[in-house]
Amino acid sequence: MWKYLKLHELFIISALAGQRGNIPLAELKGFHERQIRYLQHERLVHLIVTMFVSTYLLLGIGFIVVMPLWPGFVLVALLFGLASVYLVHYFRLENGVQRWYHLANRIDERLGLIYPRDERSLTKDLF
């Protein structure tokens, strides 16, 4: 998934720079928004799975506090590893989609649908 995120991001950046030939911006916008919709579904699925694994991890920790048996420790160790991997994956997925939103804004700016803005100066004023 991470490779897919990076490849699409590079494709959009190179298309905006004019390195991919003359792709009409309206078609590029439609393609990019379709890819965002696909990833939003992926984000939802991974959020649900991450929440379930984390819930079972917490239940397992509660179990070994009440009954400290070695199978409980093994289960918690496995769930901790699985939850860690899911959290890293979800973090990367979420940050990738956030970058794609900024790319969509750049396409909209090129199409004249929104006014150009400097995101760094806007965030400096907010925070």
Count structural domains, the chain. 1
Quick one: pLDDT at residue 65? 93
Quick one: pLDDT at residue 121? 54
Quick one: pLDDT at residue 108? 86
Predicted confidence (pLDDT) per residue in 38-47, tens digit? 888 888 999 9
Q: How confident is the model at residue 9 (pLDDT cuts 50, 70, 90)?
A: confident
5 lies in some domain = no
102 lies in some domain = yes
Domain range enclosing 84 = 25-117
DSSP codes joined into one string, 11-61: HHHHHHTTTT----HHHHHHHHHHHHHHHHHHHHHHHHHHHHHHHHHHHHH
> pTM for the full model?
0.73
Q: How confident is the model at residue 124 (pLDDT cuts 50, 70, 90)?
A: low
47 lies in some domain = yes
1 lies in some domain = no
